[in-house]
Chains A and B, each alone.
Chain A
Amino acid sequence: MGTLTHEAILKAGLYESLSIADGEAGTAKSLHRFMLRLRQCEEALAREYHPADQMRCPVHFCVGQEAVPAALSLLLRDSDYLYSHHRSHGYYLAKHAPMPALFAELYGKQTGANAGLAGSQDISFPSRHFFSGAILAGATAISLGSAFAFQLRGTDQVAVAGFGESATDEGIFWETVNYAALAKLPLVLVCENNNYSVFSPQLKRQSLDNISERVRTFGITSAAIFGNDAMLVHRTLRDAIARARGGEGPTFVEAYTYRWSGHYGPASDDLVGYRAPEELEAWKRNCPIKLIEKALRAKSLLADAENERLLREISMEIEECFRFAKSSPFPPTPDWTALNLSSATPEADRLLADIDLGDFDAHQESTQAKGY
């Protein structure tokens, strides 16, 4: 395919390089199952989003971008930290956070992952070390700090950040790359290059479409890959995570992919005219699920009956999630202060002496004499 760019991918047409090597059958089937579940989940949410209008928050659907989260779902340990952008559902599920709490969060319910405070674009599941946020590169930079903590403590945890190519428009992204490289932090940066910042294509915002090359010049391992080949994504991220865990420093992976839906919400925004219908059709032919299914079937690893059973299971799970979310109560009016600040100080209580301040407060002669 030569130098990988969106233009080169479109020119190459149908992708035929996905391969399942000997010993990779289990991985391939797990990736397939994860992507199918994520796709069904997103499509079901999209169907319910309008006109019911009960999920009253911005939702950025990730249909078409399932491969990166799928690979991470197999590679990350519970103790690893995952930070994602606003197109968060795949990453949430990649950390094995529960689907019912995702649905309830979108419905703004008490049983949501964050009790309805965060919604789709800010959702987190702290007990599984999953965090996200809507301000492009912010979470990417925060992943730097978790990697820094792991390095200081000498653990073999890794931090992973998923983000779009638009995050690389931001200065803080490059500050992050520089420091990750300088300190050789256990960090994996995964850029899902879907070419569009809402409507605006990469080459309208950046002078060159070579993010992975630019990152490499900072002195870190960097790769650009076709991001809808889930097997390739898995192998690439597996090696990156192994390097981070082994103390060999950070890796940047640019996974070229494509969002099928509009920037946000279930409806198409193609009426704006920012992308050609043929482009979307070409990417749909290179659907990450279709590509892996074809390879699985060629190796007789996926029978029709099994696929149908899988789809039935997923659809029952999703139905149950909707039932749970819709029947859950809305949160009660909170104590606003307690929501924003901690009411307890257990560490300070344990470590610091409580002394009578009055005597010190009354003896400030020196302050008075020498102030300026």
Chain B
Amino acid sequence: MLPKRKTPSRDAPGAAHPEASYADALRQGLEQAMDLSDRVVVVGQLVDYAPGVFGSTTGLVERFGTERVRDFPVSESAMTALGIGAAVAGMRPVLVHHRLDFMLYSIDAIVNWLSLWRFKSNGASSAPVTIRAIVGRGWGQGPQHSKSLHAWFAHVPGLKVAMPATAFDAKGLLLESIFGEDPVIMIEHRSLFGLKDRVPEFPYRVRFGQAAVRRAGADLTLVGAGVMVPFALRVAAQLAEHRVEAEVIDLRTISPLDLETVLSSVEKTGRLAVLDPTWGSFGMAAEVISRVAERRRGSLRADPVRIAHPDSHTPMSSALEAVYYPEQSSVVERLRALVSGR
């Protein structure tokens, strides 16, 4: 039997910290936030039942009670408004949506009220509401359980948008959102919930607007967010077998967007592909590419590429899902062609 591990210190290297899943990292973040401040409340459908929200709220109600871990009627619109009014009165609400698609009932509350609360009070009042929105994929989630509308929210001033790709970032960005002063939409991809990495047990922060270089490479820059980060890493690993070294940048948050990290990578590689887990048109990938073009057009040695879903709603059938979502080996082929100039 292994000796009992000591709790690593705060400045211990990453590998010294225990492993946790993305779902458990979110749960830790919520639990620690509620411990740190009695202003933190978690509101959403079924948040007080044993399975929690895919494990991310499990155990909270036993510790904090149904007052602060609040099941809510299927009234997403009023739920978001409630979050705003509570935040304006000093609370730190976290709203949870099992699927982003249901959150669309609350677009008025988000766009007409939440996003401009700080603006229209000239900074005298703020509404730090954290909205967790989970996006599904696969197993026939179909057109009403799989939409990732991160670009919609990033388009609106006054909202921050986080798309954590790792368990470490999920916890750090969640805590940063809860205790930050701005409203945050946190897009969580359901298929990431089982991923594990090193997660410190204490409450820490991951700041907005600081991208991570997940893999270094000189031939090509791959920019992704959320679920496209592990995909990009797998693509990069396969490209390496063909002696193409891709640099993988995880944006972590798309609003604000860390352009500088992308620019310095593109200056080095001269090639850019942006992987966006949604439809291609008018989206995050287009935004990244146009910002690079505005600032470093001369650095680009090849036409930039968007890797995204077709401009179509998501099909249910597994046969169609297989051709709808970007497929690894065809993406690899496309990027090899980009690098070789074919």
Cβ-neighbour of A144 out of B81, B160, B212 (below 8 A) = B81
Complex contacts, A354 vs chain B, CB 8 Å: 204-205
The residue on B at minimum CB distance from A149 is: B89
Could you say which residues of chain B place their CB within 8 Å of the CB of A361?
212-214, 250
A145 to B195, Cβ gap below 8 A? no
Question: Which A residues from 140 to 179 make CB contacts under 8 A with B?
Answer: 141-150, 152, 157, 159, 171-172, 175-176, 178-179
The answer to whether the Cβ of B120 comes within 8 Å of any Cβ in the partner chain is: yes
- Asked if A357 lies at the interface with its beta carbon under 8 angstroms from chain B, I say yes
Partner of B234, one of A149, A172, A350, A371: A371
The chain B residue with its CB closest to the CB of A352 is B205
Would B122 and A117 count as touching, CB distance under 8 A?
A: yes
Contact A355 B200 (CB under 8 A): yes
A133 to B36, CA, bound (A): 33
Q: Which residues of B contact A344 (CB under 8 A)?
A: 181
Cβ contact within 8 Å between B109 and A353: no
| B22 CB to nearest A CB, Å | 9
Contact A122 B120 (CB under 8 A): yes
The reply on B84 being an interface residue by CB < 8 A is: yes
A315-332 Cβ-contact flags toward B at 8 Å (1 or 0)? 000000000000000000
Residue in chain A with minimal CB distance to B86: A145
Chain B residues within 8 Å of A300, by CB: none
- CB <8 Å contact, B88 and A145: yes
Q: Which residue from A150, A339, A367 sits with its C-beta under 8 Å from B197?
A: A367
Q: Is the CB of A347 within 8 A of B179?
A: yes
B41: Cβ under 8 A from any A Cβ: yes
Chain A's nearest CB lies how many Å from the CB of B199?
Answer: 9
C-alpha gap A363/B121 in the complex (Å): 43
Partner of A141, one of B72, B109, B214: B109
B75 touches A342 (CB 8 A): no
> Within 8 Å of chain A (Cβ to Cβ): is B37?
yes
- Contact between A364 and B214 (Cβ–Cβ < 8 Å)? yes
Closest to B41 in A: A152
The reply to whether B182 and A135 contact each other, CB–CB distance below 8 Å, is: no
Encoded as 1 (CB less than 8 Å from any A CB) or 0, chain B from 198 to 225 comes to 1010111110001011100000000000
- Residues of B close to A347: CB separation below 8 A: 37, 92, 179-181
Contact assessment for A141 and B176 in the assembled complex, using a CB-CB cutoff below 8 Å:
no
A9-17, A123-131, A247-255, A285-293 - the one binding chain B:
A123-131
Q: Is B94 an interface residue (CB 8 A)?
A: no
Residues of A within 8 A of B83 (CB): 145
Interface size for B (C-beta < 8 A) is 83
| List of A residues within 8 angstroms of B116 by Cβ | 340
Q: A138-B113, A152-B41, A360-B14 are in contact. Are A176 and B204 (CB under 8 A)?
A: no
B102-120 toward A: CB 8 Å interface, digit per residue (1/0)? Answer: 0000001100110010111
Which among A145, A172, A182, A372 is the interface contact of B85 at CB below 8 angstroms?
Answer: A145
Please indicate the chain A residues that have their CB under 8 angstroms from the CB of B179 in the complex.
345, 347-348, 350-352
Kindly state the separation between the CA atoms of A339 and B72 in the bound complex, as whole angstroms.
Answer: 32
- Quick check: B123 and A370 within 8 Å, CB to CB? no
Q: Is the beta-carbon distance between B77 and A149 smaller than 8 angstroms?
A: no
Q: Is the CB of B67 within 8 A of A360?
A: no
| Shortest beta-carbon distance from A363 to chain B in Å | 5
Is B108 a contact partner of A135 (Cβ separation < 8 A)?
yes
A138 touches B85 (CB 8 A): no
CA distance A357 to B198 in the complex (A): 11
A350 to chain B: which residues have CB within 8 Å?
Answer: 179
Minimal beta-carbon separation of B120 from chain A (angstroms): 4
Q: Report B-chain residues with C-beta under 8 Å of the C-beta of A306.
A: none
Instruction: Tell me the bound Cα distance from A124 to B113 in angstroms.
Output: 13
* A149 to B86 Cα, complex, angstroms: 5
User: Judging by beta carbons under 8 Å apart, are A367 and B68 in contact?
Assistant: no
Flag if B73 contacts A179 (CB, 8 Å).
yes
Residue pair B181, A342 in contact (C-beta under 8 Å): yes
Judge if A359 is at the interface, Cβ distance under 8 Å: yes
Q: Is the CB of A138 within 8 A of B89?
A: no
Interface CB pairs A-B, < 8 A, 16: A81-B85, A117-B122, A126-B124, A138-B112, A141-B109, A146-B89, A172-B109, A179-B82, A341-B158, A354-B205, A355-B10, A361-B250, A364-B233, A366-B19, A367-B166, A371-B230
Taking Cβ atoms with an 8 Å cutoff, the residues of B that contact A are: 10-11, 13-15, 19, 36-37, 41, 67-68, 72-73, 75, 77-78, 81-93, 108-109, 112-113, 116, 118-126, 138, 157-158, 160, 165-166, 168, 172, 175-176, 179-182, 191-192, 194-198, 200, 202-206, 210, 212-214, 227, 229-231, 233-234, 237, 250, 256
